[in-house]
Structure 1
Amino acid sequence: MKEKSLPFRQIEWWVVTVVFLAIVLLNILDSGFIYYKPTDEQISIYFAKLFIPVILFLSFYLVHVKIIPGYEKEKKTWKYLSLTFLVFIVSFILTGAFSSGANITEDFFMPFYFNSIAVYVGYLLLAYILEQALAPERFKNYSFYNAVRLIAIYVFVLLFLLQFRKFSTEPIALVFAFIIPGIGLVVLYNFFLIYRNRKRGKEKSANYFLALLEFVILLIFLIIAINVYSFSPVFVGLAVMILVAVVLIPASNLVFEKYDDYLGQLNKLETRVSQTTANLDFLRSQINPHFLFNALNTLYGTALHENAERTSEGIQKLGDMMRFMLHENNQDKIPVEREKEYLMNYVDLQNLRIKGQDNIEVVFNRNEESCTGEIAPMLLIPFVENAFKHGISLQKKSWVKISLRCLAGSIHLDVNNSIHRSTDDMEKNSNGIGLDNVRQRLDLLYPGKYELVIRENDLEYFVHLSIKL
């Protein structure tokens, strides 16, 4: 209802169809032909009350469903004005013939006919004004516009029924004026005060509001009974109370439950799509280790053969990281200890790169004992990766301080680093995981179970992440 306009042409078509069908059926049932022999005048009135609504309905169909959409598509003004005028003349003559023949009106001038046209034209003008005034871009979405258009349809149908009273529309007008709004109010009352409270487990509150609703209904009919000096409205009120409690409330609850199920399924699908998108973005941001793995083994053997211990150590740690990414990165959950080992390998590899740089301080504090539990892979490394990416300068004083604590049922990571975003940043162009992607994965995988605090000033950057496993 927010994203786009409702299909009002179809809604208008079905509302008018139901109204005219009800008018025709009421006039058929009101004829009384099966009980006595009708006179010629009664036969004329009977057919007039059947055919005049049918003629008006066919005219509405031709104009609303054929002519107006055709004009909007082709923009041929004179063609569709001519067709509209033809429909008006034919419907006017046929309606006038039935009306004057049955003495519904004294001559061809039929107030109900011109009033019906006036109501329809007035609605079209109002609909155009509402579309220009309330639809986007003037408003952010279509919610208010759709609500006002639906109210306008209801009001104009009621106006039509009130001025079409010669054709026994009083019962339908009564339904539109009182019963439909009453049902709508009861349904809204049920949703906000009864259904929601029951859904939240507040049975006492739900029962209280249900009892209050029943009392108000009985009170309304008691007031009516006092005003009309009759006890009959009280029986009607009791019947309404039973219908509300036994039929309307349970039926609306079924609708609400189906709607909740639909929203739940939709949210699950959106979550799956979002998670899939996040995982795809995550995987695209990683180095594919397949084409490097064999080469690393070769380089490791060569380094050992040449007694290059520092080089072989770096290749071994990089190989361990590649194995992690190849075998465990695509799993939903991995042992926390494996994530910790990956972090240690990454920091050790960085230490090899900056070894001998006196202006750089790297501190990595972590539990000596093994971490227990499981965690989604690659949630911690992005913060450490960004710390080395933006926190290390080979010319200026730099520091990266990492603290990893594994507690019972939770893990806590603190990263503090200096900020250097200069051209000599050796990892400036690396393809690390974006923090937005990590936050999105945390929202999907640990909703309400994590705390992420990021602070930054001119000199340093601080991250605190806690996850309840």
Structure 2
Amino acid sequence: MKQKDLQKVEFWISTILYSIAIIVLISNTGDRRNPNEFYYFREENISFSYFYNYFLPKLFQYSVIYFGFLSINFLIIPALIKKQQSSLNSLLLFGLFIMMGVVISITKTYSEAYILVRYDDIQDAYNRIFFNGFSTSLWTIIAISGYVLLKEFVIYLIADHKKSDNIQDQIKIDIGFGLAFWFVGLLLWVTASAPFQIVILWTLVILAAIALTIYAIYFYLPHHYANSKKFRNYFWQMVLISILAAIPVSLITALMTGESELAAIVLCFHFPTQIIITLPLAWYLYKNRLANSTQLFTLKTELGKSDASLSFLQSQINPHFLFNALNTLYGTALQENAERTGEGIQKLGDMMRFMLHENVQDKISLTRDVDYLENYIALQKLRTSRSADIVIDTQIDEQLNNLQITPMLLIPFVENAFKHGISLQQSSHIKVTLQTKENTLYFDVHNSIHIKPDNDPEKLKSGIGLANVKQRLALLYPNRHELIIRESAKEFFIHLTIQL
């Protein structure tokens, strides 16, 4: 996925989540559901208004977090990473922290007004509320910034991986994706004000899943497949590893929380997660990558064979020898006053030189491509010049510009016209026009159609030339070309426009 597409996905996901949160707030206003704050207000004998003590504070908090995410994710952090106006963006980040802290703190004085009566000094209560508000602002900015940095790190790993096929780079990418998944989940838990125990459970289980997945894909399964073992062997082996992994997971939980009950709960989530999700996922990923690697290796092998065959053919027919032979025939034809034969040999040589040297390039001068086209038409005119019933009309403008074009895009249409539009027994016509205006190429081919006799070997064959050129146009000039094809019982017409 391209970075621009990823940004669109991020924008729409965040906007949808923000919209859902607002819709939930509005819907709760209609059915008068009591949030937790209602009971806190009632314990302190303070009147509670859903609109002023819950709806408006939450609306402002959700809004400032939403716009803070957009600012940090799309503007501030990317600019800081690229070192663009670092001082200004650092100041904007600090200003965003202050703004979020003020908004969250002020809204808390309404949504947590019950705290005010718990303090003897009203100023101490406000200090406490504002301290919590700015703490929430700080942690929110840290969480969003952490997400953006982790995302940029994964994008960097992917870009770096394209330059090399090192297995260590692929491991880094997989770890990066795993950490990104963990961090997004952590961000959602923190936003939902989940208890600390839930955060610990999520972190340990997901990190264990990442470790098991990496081990399975890069260390265990390669040897497993090499020995032709089945999924059953893999499953029980990984179950044993999951049991061993439960020991450090439970110890870390007990050390961080001091609660043995929580360690037991973590284990209850650890085993089902690894067995039901992690093990099949690692198996699927490895098989899928192995299939892709095998396919890529096969394609490289076939490509190598094709290159070797082409090199062999090129070594058998030396181009210099071929051109020298054509020049000799050309000179002989001129000596014998066979001007048409000499002209044909000359144009054939030019076409072969084009095919060998320029046809292999990604882009060539439009002038050279038009020269090839004109040589081909000239040869066909020599072939059909003795028939008065064949009319070949060309209106090809001289190309004095510096436009570039992918080679061999135009010739298939002309070849198709001569293949199906010429008959030595019936009246035939072909008209080819080509002109350019600024950067736009206009190309038209109009030809007659003749039904081939039943004994013609070409009658039942459908050429791939036009289908191939359609695919090439779609790949090379997406949204920059227009191809119109019309066919009747006796005529065939194409109109091609390309933005060069």
Query: When the two structures are superposed, what TM-score results if normalisation uses the length of structure 2?
Result: 0.43
Query: When the two structures are superposed, what TM-score results if normalisation uses the length of structure 1?
Result: 0.45
More helix by share: 2
Structure having greater relative contact order (Cα 8 Å, sep ≥ 6): 1
